[in-house]
Amino acid sequence: MRAFISILLKLQQILYTQGFGTRRECTALIERGAVSIAGEIARRPDAEFVTDGLQFAVNGEPWSFVERAYIMLNKSAGYECSQAPKHWPSVYELLPMPLRTRPTKSSVNGVQAVGRLDQDTTGLLLLSDDGQFIHRMASPKNHVNKVYEVTTKHPVDAAAVQALLTGVLLNDDPEPVAAAACERVSDTHLRLTLSEGKYHQVKRMLAAVGNRVEALHRSQFGGLKLDPALALGQWRWLTADDLAAISNSLQVL
């Protein structure tokens, strides 16, 4: 994550970088009075503003200028983490359009999910348009811990917890897979910490100890916990403290 440098940009360029359409569409928004800054309608596409901390509104909806988008989403069940979902709506539909159309240097515009959660899994999902950030967070070699709240079909005993910590064999993996931590919160509630990201890993690990996942919720990503004030389906920008918590979790590896 590179340091933010405050610059002067024309209003038309500001709207474009934030995902409000093509340059021509952004100009049209301004000229028809759809954009306001500090409560005043801005009608000049070439008017320049300092981007650092800039707040504006488009069609009455408030927006903050961000050079790079870093987002926390409390994912609802019933959404696929895909731009081209096959069976369920895309998780990107939970985001406002500007976040989905921000221009990027990659072939795909808009923010991208850092890893994936199954359609029936809820909880903390990070999204960004910063390719280096996404790679650092998602790369298996960085072993970033993720914490899951697991509701099981059957009660979990001490032997199952120990097996998950020692390592279990998955049906298509020759090497045992172990949890980084495993806490038995109640008979049917496990707090499971994983540093890998294998396909359906939590469900397959519980199946390996003779149990079944009834509900799955990700509560933490690295050093960052899901904001308890964030309702299912809601998102917010990551703060400087949030980003520091994630960075610190990488530095200790």
CATH number at residue 137: 3.30.70.580
In the β-sheet with 40-41, what is the strand arrangement from edge to edge?
40-41, 35-37, 55-58, 61-64
Q: Is residue 96 located within the same domain as residue 130?
A: yes
Q: Is residue 19 located within the same domain as residue 74?
A: no
Phi, psi dihedrals of residue 73, rounded to the nearest 5°: -125, 135
User: Average pLDDT of 200-228?
Assistant: 96
pLDDT higher than 80, residue 18: yes
Q: Is residue 56 located within the same domain as residue 156?
A: no
| pTM of the model as a whole | 0.91
Phi, psi dihedrals of residue 204, rounded to the nearest 5°: -70, -35
The radius of gyration of the chain's CA atoms, rounded to the nearest angstrom, is 21
Q: Which two tokens stand for residue 142?
A: 């960085």
CATH of the domain at 52: 3.10.290.10
Q: Are 185 and 192 in contact (CB under 8 A)?
A: no
Q: Is residue 213 located within the same domain as residue 242?
A: no
Domain that holds residue 41: 8-64
Domains identified in the chain, total number: 3
Q: Is residue 59 located within the same domain as residue 167?
A: no
Phi, psi dihedrals of residue 150, rounded to the nearest 5°: -110, 120
Residue 35 domain flag: yes
The contacts of residue 161 (CB under 8 Å, 6+ apart) are 182, 184, 190
Q: Is residue 113 located within the same domain as residue 60?
A: no
Predicted confidence (pLDDT) per residue in 143-188, tens digit = 899 999 999 999 999 999 999 999 999 987 788 999 999 999 999 9
Query: Residue 91 and residue 81: Cα distance in Å, rounded?
Result: 5
Q: Is residue 216 located within the same domain as residue 228?
A: no
Residue 1 domain flag: no
Residue 100 domain flag: yes
Residue 3 domain flag: no
Residues forming the active site:
118
Q: Is residue 245 located within the same domain as residue 123?
A: yes
Q: Is residue 76 located within the same domain as residue 134?
A: yes
Question: Which of these ranges, 83-87, 210-214, 223-227, 230-234, has the smallest mean pLDDT?
Answer: 83-87
Q: Is residue 51 located within the same domain as residue 77?
A: no
Q: Is residue 236 located within the same domain as residue 115?
A: yes
Q: Is residue 197 located within the same domain as residue 245?
A: no
**In this predicted structure, what is the pLDDT of residue 197?**
79
